[in-house]
Amino acid sequence: MEFLNRKGQEGINQLLTYGVAIVVIAIALIIGLRILDQFDNDFTANSLEANASRDARTGISRMTEQLPNIALVVVLVVIVGLMVGVFLYFRGSF
């Protein structure tokens, strides 16, 4: 039983793409945090540059805290899309 070229099957293939994209974003954010940590040593304390670097680090670290929530939303969207595809398939709407 093959389900090629069915609308519901697109969601599973896209899930892998979204997973890879989330991993790449996480790696880029981690590298950005490491670079900002190295810049922080070059600035004098409480200067404009040090404050900007600290604020950027804080913003990026808060973004990385939200990655599990973003991944959960992506997975739920794919699951709901698959469910709708299955319901439409069994109703004969395809």
Tell whether 1 is covered by a domain: no
CB half-sphere exposure, 50, CA atoms < 13 A: 7
> Cα angle vertex 47, ends 46, 53, to 5°?
90
* Residue 12 reports pLDDT greater than 70: no
Mean pLDDT of 60-76: 85
Q: Give a yes or no: residue 39 inside a domain.
A: yes
pTM above 0.75, yes or no: no
Q: For residues 91 and 94, what is the distance between their CA atoms, to the nearest angstrom?
A: 8
Determine, yes or no, domain membership for 3: no
Domain that holds residue 78: 9-91
When pLDDT is averaged across residues 20-33 and rounded to a whole number, the result is: 86
- Overall number of domains in the chain: 1
pLDDT at position 82:
79
